[in-house]
Amino acid sequence: MYIPDEFRYLMHCFYSEIREDSADEKEVIATAVDACESKQRPAALEFLQRFLEGDPSDQELRGMWYASGPNFGYEDYQELRQFLYLLLDELKRRT
């Protein structure tokens, strides 16, 4: 699966301690999006939007997540899906 560099860059903004430093998932996402350069956001948004519009399977979700390089994972696919939709909403709001 092709994952654009801009989305990988965003995923690297999710550093390993980000969850400890944040009150909830929305704050985790806001912190990472803040750390992501604004010029990276449109391509990251476009990729994530297209990916989620394709109604990916649990395996596709997992594959994309780990291939993009974040520093934490999800065991529950539904939680990962919800996280990605929250990320999508934040990117739309900030792009």
In the chain, domain spans:
5-94
Place of tokens 């430093």: 21
Cα gap 45→92, rounded to integer Å: 7
Cα gap 63→94, rounded to integer Å: 26
| Residue-level length of the chain | 95
In tens, the pLDDT along 45-94 reads 999 999 999 999 999 999 999 999 888 888 899 999 999 999 999 999 99
**Other beta carbons within 10 Å of 75:** 7
Tokens for 95, please give them. Answer: 């792009």
Predicted TM-score (pTM) of this structure: 0.93
Q: At what angle do helices 41-53 and 5-12 cross, to 10 degrees?
A: 100
In tens, the pLDDT along 10-58 reads 999 988 788 888 889 999 999 999 999 999 999 999 999 999 999 999 9
